[in-house]
A and B are shown apart, each in its own frame.
Chain A
Amino acid sequence: MQTTDERTAAAGAAGSPARPVPPEHPAPPGPADDAPGRGLPPYWALWLLAAAVLPGTALFVAVRGVDEPAVQAWRTVCLAITVQALPFLLLGTALSGAINAFVPARVFGRLLPKRPALAVPVAGVAGVVLPGCECASVPVAGSLIGRGVAPAAAFTFLLSAPAINPVVLTATAIAFPGSPLMVLARLLASLVTATVMGWLWLLLGRTEWLRPAVRHTGHRPGHSRFTEFRLGFQHDFLHAGGFLVLGAMAAATFNVTVPRSLLDAFTGSPWLSVLFLAALAILLAVCSEADAFLAASLTGFPPVARLAFMVVGPMVDLKLIALQAGTFGRAFAVRFSAATTVVAVVSSALIGGVLL
């Protein structure tokens, strides 16, 4: 980013005819500077198209068949996912706003090891402290990056927090009474996946995949911290909430159109069943506090496949992909989700194979 003066100076130095920008019309360079900060144009075009088409289609379908049981079930599931996730999204965006406005960047520098390779496992274990669903962790990870935490560590936290917090582990223990190994396997496989993903990002990750929309500039002198908190909170919530609705619509579509009885077709082969349940976890977008109960009910499947369901679910699903695309950009969300799925399936197959 250059100031107008610098740009004029650079143009002059390059030997091009000196055409000083008139002070009254600074607008042309302005938007050009501003555009990258607000998101990639093709990205927005896509989402705007979806935002324009989806409600219209939904309305059309609804008007044509309000009484169709399928449409009503779709609306119920869509609304249920949204309503269920809203408190956790509010928690996450409030935390992210608070981190941004109240916590100085040096705090994280002190808490986390200096070397990113060491900070990754620490961040993975730190996921224990954020109770609740996966929706809370995306905005928090976004604000952590804004506060100078290494992206690799923030992504590890993003993946581990919804899978290994006490609420989720307790739910798993309740859903699988008499098999504490399942809880242990879930804890280990999730931690391993999150840590490996953090290291993978250190090795292969590129900053240009991240949308440069790290708006969070932290507390600025001369501004009220509380107003900064409130505005950041409100902005993040409205932003992430829109993507949550988009993800809920997609998940509800699969939830209603894919009959659960289809599951029986895949129970035979162990490898297919692992892949199938991993895919199911992505499509159904069940909250991480509840997926253990669903996994427990899939009795036809081998334990390893059910473990894969519980490891993949909190890390990758349709509403999470939508939320990540909103927070970090589409280029990131696609690559990150694909890689996470592979790592999660492999680690749950290995750990499940040893423990279960």
Chain B
Amino acid sequence: MNRPVQVTLLVLGGLGLLHTSLFTDLCLRYVRPGMRPLLIASGVLLLVLGVAEAWSRRTPRETPDSHAHQAQQHGQEYGQEYGDGHGHDHTSVPRVAWLLFLPALSLLFWAPPALGAFTAARQPPKQVSEQDHFDPLPATSPLPITLTDFTRRVRQDRTRAVEGRTVEMTGLVTPVPKGDRAGGDWDLTRIIISCCAADAQSVKVRIHRTPAPPADTWVKVTGTWHRDGTLGTSTADVALDARTVTKVPRPVNGYQDALPLTPSR
């Protein structure tokens, strides 16, 4: 890999990182929001490296070419140059570095989408942590609630506060594999990542009584708990009888199970 290619790679990589983290929200498709400052810093660092490498072209400097050139002129020195443990060949980068062009170009021009129904459908629902004490639910109706909180209220809350309440949840549509359940039902899901998309886990709420929107659509669902099993115990079904299903844009915090923030650009 020669030096102009290295400069190109460093600059493209830096621009790609800045494009996804500083100028757009694209990086939130891949990593948690806390990584953002690190990505911006990395992008700047790569740009600086690339510019420094391009700049140093103008100043005369030792390169393997100049070594070889000198060696041809002064044959006696050749053995010393390469023989006595010199090997300081920082300018000859192995070709495996070409692979770095893939993520760099992909970030700039062809960013893959956030994980969706394909991933969620192949995962068992994430286990929610145990909670002993439950506060009374606010009186608003419909009540905005996260999928995790809903699961906890249904499975663990002995006060049965969620009974009869109309709740509102936001998530993406995951079709249920055929044979798993009667036709027409689908899963409202949130994919949760703790570091990057490689460690994705999903929380799911089964939705009854409405036809499934197309997979990967982000929707807001209102409805009441689907009576099945004993509420407040682990026999209760984490499911909802939907009243309304509205299409919404993907929230910025799509990889958290939180109430939705403003739509992403």
Contacts and interface: CB of A to CB of B under 8 A. Distances in A.
Nearest to A58: B102
B198 A79 contact: no
Interface stretch (A153-161, A202-210, A238-246): A238-246
Nearest to A69: B118
Nearest to B27: A83
A299 B197 CA distance: 20
Contact of A5 (B41, B61, B79, B102): B79
Interface in A218-243: 220, 227, 230-235, 237-239, 241-243
Interface residues of B, number: 75
Nearest to A299: B127
Interface residues of A, number: 85
B217 to A, nearest CB: 14
B27 to A, nearest CB: 7
B118 A84 contact: no
A78 B110 CA distance: 13
A2 B93 CA distance: 25
Interface in A22-41: 22-26, 29-30, 33-34, 37-39
B95 A232 contact: no
Nearest to A175: B194
Nearest to A171: B194
Chief secondary structure at chain A's binding surface:
helix
A143 interface: no
24 contacts: A2-B83, A24-B75, A73-B115, A76-B113, A77-B198, A79-B30, A81-B198, A83-B30, A84-B35, A84-B196, A87-B41, A234-B10, A234-B90, A235-B90, A235-B91, A238-B6, A238-B97, A239-B97, A243-B96, A255-B198, A260-B124, A285-B198, A294-B194, A326-B96
Interface of B: 1, 6, 9-10, 17, 20, 27, 29-31, 35, 38-39, 41-42, 45-46, 49, 52-53, 56, 61, 71-72, 75-76, 78-80, 82-100, 102-103, 106-107, 111-119, 122-124, 126-127, 129, 193-199, 201
